[in-house]
Amino acid sequence: MVLVCASLPACAQVNYSVRFEREKSQYLLGEPVFCRFVIRNTGTQPFGFRYRTPSRTLGSDNDQEPRFVVTGAGGRRLRDPGPRPCGNPQGSAVYGSVTLPPGQVHTERWLLNQWAQFEAPGTFRVRAQRHLALLALGPQPGSLSDKPLAFALAINEIAVSIVPSTTAQVEGAFQPYVAAVRDAKNPNPSEAVVVLTSLPQPSFLDTLVAMTKPAGENRWDRRDALNSLARLNSSASWQALLSVLHGGGTEAAGAPGHADDSLRSYAALLLAEKGDPSFLPALIEVAAHSSDPLRGDVLRALGFFPDPRAYQTLFDNLHSAQVTDRMNAVLGLRNLGRKEVVPALIAALDDPEAQVRQVADFCLQGLSGQKFSASANSTPEQARRLAAQWHAWWRDHAANFAPPPPTTCHDW
């Protein structure tokens, strides 16, 4: 596709071709499936654009992000393996820039397995689209203007064939990526990280576990390695996540002996999403012997376990001397999403701390769909009036109340 912006004088000399194309016509079932984004400067003037590592950004409103829809037999769309954020997508993409002089080509490889799960052999159709702003060069070396010279639009249909494979063939296909991550001298293993964490395999479990530990120069986001262990969904991978929860191998880079609590918290949330009751003793132990913010994250995570042990820990923390414990216990009870927690949430409206009362009111609204007027800085009398309204509502609705089903999304 060649687009020329003739409406602006500066655009008359900007010419380019842009397209998505397949790397090869046939892939083994289980191996990484890539397509290429290719843009060529066919004009006489250089231009630039924003560029980043080709990994998926969830829910991005940025037109420059590529979009892929993969369909199989009968036009049925393949399952999207990406997690579903409840609100704003977590994380962000850090963009750099690329300058493309006349005659030069820029190519990106995009891993289609991030958008579609290829579960069986067959022929699949990929609809690829991207809307890329092309920018003039700025006055400073390496800088770009804010105003686009033109917009490059690529819309392509690509056919991909997936054929049967053996375990040995699939393991062989991943070896170059495993080697790239293990090579400490490789300054940018980003593509290999995307492949290994998007398509984790039992054959390189040890590599994934090693990726949860500090890497020199922050060569990757260790949360991606934790995600890959949860995605692998094997007994060994869950044991590795439990080890991270307990602080194994999470020492922060540059701070020997200091556990990375943010990573431990993320492991707790992934364990909670799985919801295996065998994880509860570990989570309860960490909740009892850790400090905030890890302790608070674990208390909220306990709310995803419909188990008396989780209930008891949360109810006990409603009476903690620590305000944050009481707040997180209330949030954990809300996560349980059960009728039985409503009286405890209403009781929390009498807490001496306004923060706890506000969280309890918020959680009751979420469970019930009912809302009473309340002030963020309510007086004691206003707080008593709000509690009385919830008590009256519960008396009228307790017999027939059924909380809404839990959402299938998550916020981590």
Tokens of 259: 């556990």
3 within some domain: no
Mapped onto helix, strand or coil, the DSSP state of residue 160 is: strand
> What distance in Å separates the CA atoms of residue 80 and residue 333, rounded to the nearest whole number?
31
Tokens of 1: 């596709």
403 within some domain: no
> What distance in Å separates the CA atoms of residue 355 and residue 377, rounded to the nearest whole number?
9
How many other C-beta atoms can be found within 10 angstroms of the C-beta atom of residue 263?
Answer: 24
CATH of the domain at 139: 2.60.40.10
Does residue 40 sit in the same domain as residue 135? yes
* pLDDT tens column, 158-207: 999 999 999 999 999 999 999 999 998 988 899 999 999 999 999 999 99
| CB contact at 8 A, 84 and 408 | yes
Does residue 293 sit in the same domain as residue 377? yes
Q: What is the DSSP string of 220-261?
A: S-HHHHHHHHHHH--HHHHHHHHHHHTTTT-BPTTSTT-B-H
2 within some domain: no
128 within some domain: yes
**Residue where a domain stops, chosen among 163, 181, 199:** 163
Res. 250: pLDDT tops 90: no
Q: What is the mean pLDDT of residues 272-299?
A: 95
Tokens of 114: 């991030």
Tokens of 190: 């980003």
Q: Which domain holds residue 132?
A: 9-83+94-163
Res. 22: pLDDT tops 60: yes
Does residue 232 sit in the same domain as residue 366? yes
DSSP 410: B
Q: What is the pTM of this model?
A: 0.86
Q: Comparing 358 with 188, which gets the higher pLDDT?
A: 358
How many other C-beta atoms can be found within 10 angstroms of the C-beta atom of residue 358?
Answer: 21
Least confident of 204-208, 215-219, 229-233, 276-280: 215-219
| CB contact at 8 A, 15 and 105 | no
Does residue 213 sit in the same domain as residue 149? no
Does residue 158 sit in the same domain as residue 176? no
* pLDDT tens column, 51-104: 888 888 876 667 788 999 999 988 999 999 987 666 555 555 667 889 999 999
**Residue where a domain stops, chosen among 163, 187, 218:** 163
> What distance in Å separates the CA atoms of residue 120 and residue 152, rounded to the nearest whole number?
34
Does residue 200 sit in the same domain as residue 153? no
88 within some domain: no
Does residue 194 sit in the same domain as residue 283? yes
Does residue 239 sit in the same domain as residue 124? no
Does residue 99 sit in the same domain as residue 219? no
Does residue 123 sit in the same domain as residue 211? no
| pLDDT for the residue numbered 408 | 66
Does residue 118 sit in the same domain as residue 231? no
| CB contact at 8 A, 271 and 283 | yes
Q: What is the DSSP string of 56-69?
A: --TT---TTS-EEE
Does residue 197 sit in the same domain as residue 340? yes
Our count of domains for the chain comes to 2
402 within some domain: no
Q: Is 277 exposed, middle or buried (0-12, 13-18, 19+ CB in 10 A)?
A: exposed
* pLDDT tens column, 316-350: 999 999 999 999 999 999 999 999 999 999 999 99
43 within some domain: yes
* Per-residue b or e along 62-88, where b marks 16 or more CB atoms closer than 10 Å to that residue's CB: eebbbebebebeeeeebeeebbeeeee
**Residue where a domain stops, chosen among 119, 145, 163:** 163
pLDDT bracket for residue 400 (50, 70, 90): very high
4 within some domain: no
| 89 Cβ contact partners less than 8 Å away, ≥ 6 residues apart | 57, 58, 59, 60
Whose tokens are 């500090």? That residue is 214
> What distance in Å separates the CA atoms of residue 229 and residue 233, rounded to the nearest whole number?
7
CATH of the domain at 290: 1.25.10.10
